[in-house]
A and B are shown apart, each in its own frame.
Chain A
Amino acid sequence: MRRITMTVNGREITCEVEERLLLVQFLRETLKLTGTHVGCDTSQCGVCVVHVDGQSIKSCSMLAVQADGRSVTTIEGLMKDGEMHPMQAAFHDQHGLQCGFCTPGMVMSAIDLLQKNPDPTEQEIREWLEGNLCRCTGYHNIVKAVRQAATAISRQGEART
């Protein structure tokens, strides 16, 4: 067992964990943050994507102990003042989700895309999302949602400057 401390959705958490515990199990089982899902066992599907120190990672391919001292954001940590993040809002507006199981990972991954490329083309969005599988939507409306969020976030940025 190892003692670890990390910030999860803005809250500092200290826990004793088994060394073999995956970050996704730590989030789901220990912290009961069940918004982050598990959809495969080969790190292909991306339903477990969260942010660690602002970068998207597949939380099934990282140990909880590796997140010691770092800052983790999950889908539960995106809302601010009761408002959805522009990416969440865009998925709602564009019908970018059906069963909702891939959605948290998809949203977290897409937010990171816009951090790295604020104005992606449709093709760039499709290529970025290669590591996130969705079986319901055919991706069509997910791509539209990411485009909408890109526009919304760049407007927000303009409004601030």
Chain B
Amino acid sequence: MQKFHVYRHGDFLVSFSVFVLIALGLLFIYSASYHSGDSVSVFATRQLMWASIGLCLCLIIWKIDYRHFVSSAYLLFAVNIILLLSVLFFGSKTLGAQRWLRFGFFRLQPSEFFKITMILFLAKYYAGLPSYKKGYFYCIIIPFLFIGPAIVLIMKQPDLGTALVLIPVFFALSYIAGTRPVDILYTIIAGVLCAVPGYFLLKPYQQERIKVFLNPEHDPLGVGYQSIQSKIAVGSGGILGKGWLKGTQTQLDFLPERHTDFIFSVIGEEWGFLGAILVIFLFAVLVILAFKIANESRDEKGKLVASGLGVLFLVHLFINAGMTIGIMPITGLPLPFVSYGGSSLITMLVAVGLLQSIYSRRFMF
């Protein structure tokens, strides 16, 4: 074990695509904040700092056997729930949402970390489930009793985007772990059926929020405006784009949240269809490799964690890129590795560390 060079057995292509994505992120965070009056490169510099911290964490996690993380998943889950609760009570507010915990000079966003915590939790749970317990009760109800309250806490912040990511990840993991497809189908149908009468119990302003969430056009001055400006940005990029630092939508301040949630629009505008395809391609590579790692993993836990992370990347990409081009509702959700934001970048690099940790140990028995 001492002689085993764990870093040599990782997947080079995973590391490579992640590096390229982070580099693209830095490039376009720079462009997005170029004109906005702030000192030129504050966001890019800070993102570089987060990336270095994230990479160190990634290497540390890579070195540690992923099974340790899976075994302590329940503890991690409990800690994360406590963090989420403290956000509710002592969290700091920005733009109407209460998502952050203040620790001295930096702010922590526990809902970001919960994405990984949930995957570890489910991996441990499903891997330990004996085959005679594969019924509805053990496969859906029990895990949902744990995951459900956490999702409610996250939605209360309100962080609808993260909640929206967690639900498909849960179903996908459950499916891969062997839950019968009909059980999943029933659950989804039941969820929809509950949501409809539940909607009428909400207060008018909450209903209003949901209407806007489902249909941005309902709020033409807020979210609806963002939606159309983002589409104009991407569409006007054409095939080759307007060039780096030359996007008019971006540089003239029409695009909101340019360096965070709408970074994909910036890339689409300045590097055009080719730039957007490049980002999607890099993510596709990452997702496929995560599934390959899952497939080659030596045990069930590794398989579940790796495939869960793959689904996490995929859903993130689809929701984030989808909202910038008008096929998904607008929610505050970052594009992994690319969007500005410390908690998100670090979480995603931890995910990469876990993937590599699983892959490096594929031959060990």
Q: Do A and B come from one complex?
A: no
